[in-house]
Structure 1
Amino acid sequence: MRSFDPVSLRLFVAVCEEGNIAAAAQREAIVPSAISKRLAQMESEAGVRLFERGRRGVTVTAAGEALWRYARESLQMLDRIKSELGAFAQGVQGQVRVFGSKSALAQFLPNDIGRFAKIYRDVRVSMEEREIWEVVRGVEEGRADIGVCWDAVDFRDLTVFPYHRDHLAVVVPEGHPLANRDAVAFIETLDYEHVDILARSILQQRQRSAAGAAGKQLIHRIQVSTVDAAYRIVAAGLAVAIVPGEEARAVQQALGLTVVPLTDSWACRQFVISIRNRGLSLPASLLVEKLRVAAAAGNTD
């Protein structure tokens, strides 16, 4: 089918995901009329309606759902071909794309991938930081071979393997009333103003839920966009912050902080490795295996 070229399929997938031609056009940097023309050509050639048009957008038909599935698989394969051929052209024997959440990249993922890179020197590994939902979507869409993040989201049809765990803690300045405690419950931190770390939205949702269940309110005094900024705010004595304890201990001495583990069950986070159910390249398969071995051995240094 001539109309079902890669560009048309990519635009078709964008419309399916956005549910709106105008939104898809903005996402793909193309005028809406061009997308509408391509969709009309695809429907004409296929002989079936792929969308039901409405005032508020489009709804994918049963035929459209079938094409959506095959289109995504085809585009993933084309992206993989382009990526791997480009790597060979540069004399590299393989390439693996990894999307990781902020906590995974700040703690254990770089060291584990570093060990892999020393063994497989002809494999290029790219790591990109993404929000948790972007990690899952990136793997689903084939933009990443491997995803590593907290298991607090729905992984849908992806295959997941246990990775490292971390434990959340409250970070306070030296001399703070909680600084001499071996551990505290999250509810005990609600008597103090917190730093709102905007980039960690899912973690913030968990905290608000826990505060609501206890009949208390989580009070944010200052909003920051990075964990490093949060540490500085805490060091200045302006607020406390909930962060991964392992991550905070790396800077506590330099900044004069005290890291106190939380006793709540939700404070222990399980990270996972996510992949698609098929089509994993040999280099990616080798990296997944090394990450699983590192996790089993407790390699978090």
Structure 2
Amino acid sequence: MRLDPTSLRLFVRVAETGTITGAAEAEYIATSAVSKRLSELEAHFSTPLLKRNNRGVELTPAGNALLNLSRGVLHNLEDLELQMREYSSGNRGIVRVFANMSAITQYLPTETQDFFEKHPDIGVQLEEKVSPIITREVMSNNADIGVCARLPHGYDLVEFPYHVDDLVLVTPLNHPLADREAIDFRECLDYPHVGLHTSSAINLELLRAASLANRPLRLRIQVTSYDALCMMVQAGLGVGVVPRGAIRQYVGGLNVRVLSIRDAWARRRLSIYVHDPERLSMAARMFVDHLIESAASSG
């Protein structure tokens, strides 16, 4: 047997559906044909890739490794085919970017527009994800580029410096802390908080800071956007922590106060992550270079 994209694509489909029958139905192919392809793959690599049981299949360690590698191979083949086709239509590349809310609300709109002005034939597919998921998806080759908070992730990724996020505390105008210009974070732990969603990097950072202070973080409500957080704070539901740059567009029309946080972690770093710079498409490499240069020029 020689490896071919069809066998890898069927293997990925089986892994995603959890059953050979489900993969066969999704690909409009006979179950026996899928099963034969899987057996040939296992014979080719001389190792079991799947554990078959009454509920379907489970990946072995070798199967998990092949799944990640297959996604990368298939993506590269799709990218090759797409980019070569796009030459005839004038769109010479698609870059898949996953970014956190902070990067999307503060930096990427302007920087992406600047990139389009220089490279009008390249498209960028931008999706918002939370930071822990972004690094995982870049490692799994589901995104070319990840832009998110710099956090421990345990993946073999290449990291480039991006912007520095200045986190601030937002309070209602009549709050006991409202007359302050700056605070230590532990001072606001006496009050209820409006938080972001559970897996967000800011929420994880606040939980860590509260734990180091031996104090609980009293989350009264959690939201999924900075504007919703600011409106909840204005309504008096608590205080909240957000990036300074991200709230400029909201604070102007809201009756809230913005306080600096003196703790060192409140100046957090955003990073650009890629799996392997040598395997990026030309379009993706150009976009990474553009983001790095833009961040460096902004200071």
Structure 2 CA distance for partners of 1:179 and 1:286, relative to 1, 3 Å: same
Task: Return the TM-score normalized by structure 1.
Answer: 0.83
8 Å CA contact 1:136–1:155 kept in 2: the answer is no
Distance of 2:247 and 2:66 partners within structure 1:
47
2:95 aligned partner, one-letter code: V
Matched, 1:289 2:292: no
Residue equivalent to 1:150 = 149
Which stretch has the larger CA shift, 190-199 or 200-209?
Answer: 200-209
Query: Is there any run of 5+ residues in structure 1 with no aligned partner, and where?
Result: none
Q: What pairs with 1:124-139 in structure 2 (closer than 5 Å)?
A: 124-139=123-138
Task: Return the TM-score normalized by structure 2.
Answer: 0.84
Distance of 1:258 and 1:30 partners within structure 2:
56
Distance of 2:64 and 2:230 partners within structure 1:
47
Residue equivalent to 1:219 = 218
Deviations 1:94-124 (A, max 9, x none): 3322221111101111111111111222222
The DSSP-based 3-state class of the residue aligned with 1:250 is helix
Distance of 2:101 and 2:123 partners within structure 1:
21
Residue equivalent to 2:275 = 276
How far off is 1:292 after superposition? 1.0
Residue equivalent to 1:85 = 84
Deviations 1:111-145 (A, max 9, x none): 11111111222222222212223322332333322
Structure 2 CA distance for partners of 1:225 and 1:48, relative to 1, 3 Å: closer
| Number of residue pairs matched by the alignment | 293
Structure 2 CA distance for partners of 1:144 and 1:294, relative to 1, 3 Å: same
8 Å CA contact 2:97–2:124 kept in 1: the answer is yes
| Coordinate RMSD, CA, aligned | 3.1
The DSSP-based 3-state class of the residue aligned with 2:229 is helix
Structure 2 CA distance for partners of 1:142 and 1:89, relative to 1, 3 Å: farther
Distance of 1:210 and 1:258 partners within structure 2:
22
Residue equivalent to 1:202 = 201
Residue equivalent to 1:60 = 60
1:196 aligned partner, one-letter code: G
Deviations 1:49-77 (A, max 9, x none): 33455789635255x46645652442132
The DSSP-based 3-state class of the residue aligned with 1:254 is coil
Distance of 1:210 and 1:178 partners within structure 2:
19
Structure 2 CA distance for partners of 1:262 and 1:286, relative to 1, 3 Å: same
Distance of 2:14 and 2:100 partners within structure 1:
27
1:287 aligned partner, one-letter code: F
Distance of 1:192 and 1:147 partners within structure 2:
34
How far off is 1:38 after superposition? 4.2
The DSSP-based 3-state class of the residue aligned with 1:195 is strand
How far off is 1:157 after superposition? 1.8
2:284 aligned partner, one-letter code: A
8 Å CA contact 2:149–2:271 kept in 1: the answer is yes
Structure 2 CA distance for partners of 1:23 and 1:249, relative to 1, 3 Å: farther
Structure 2 CA distance for partners of 1:115 and 1:59, relative to 1, 3 Å: closer
How far off is 1:188 after superposition? 0.9
Q: In percent, how many aligned pairs have the same letter?
A: 37
The DSSP-based 3-state class of the residue aligned with 2:177 is coil
Residue equivalent to 1:255 = 254
Distance of 2:14 and 2:71 partners within structure 1:
12
How far off is 1:241 after superposition? 0.9
Structure 2 CA distance for partners of 1:36 and 1:224, relative to 1, 3 Å: farther
How far off is 1:223 after superposition? 2.7
8 Å CA contact 1:14–1:24 kept in 2: the answer is no
2:119 aligned partner, one-letter code: Y
Deviations 1:199-231 (A, max 9, x none): 653322221222222222111222323221111
Query: Is there any run of 5+ residues in structure 2 with no aligned partner, and where?
Result: none
Q: What pairs with 1:117-128 in structure 2 (closer than 5 Å)?
A: 117-128=116-127
The DSSP-based 3-state class of the residue aligned with 2:174 is coil
Residue equivalent to 2:106 = 107
How far off is 1:86 after superposition? 4.1
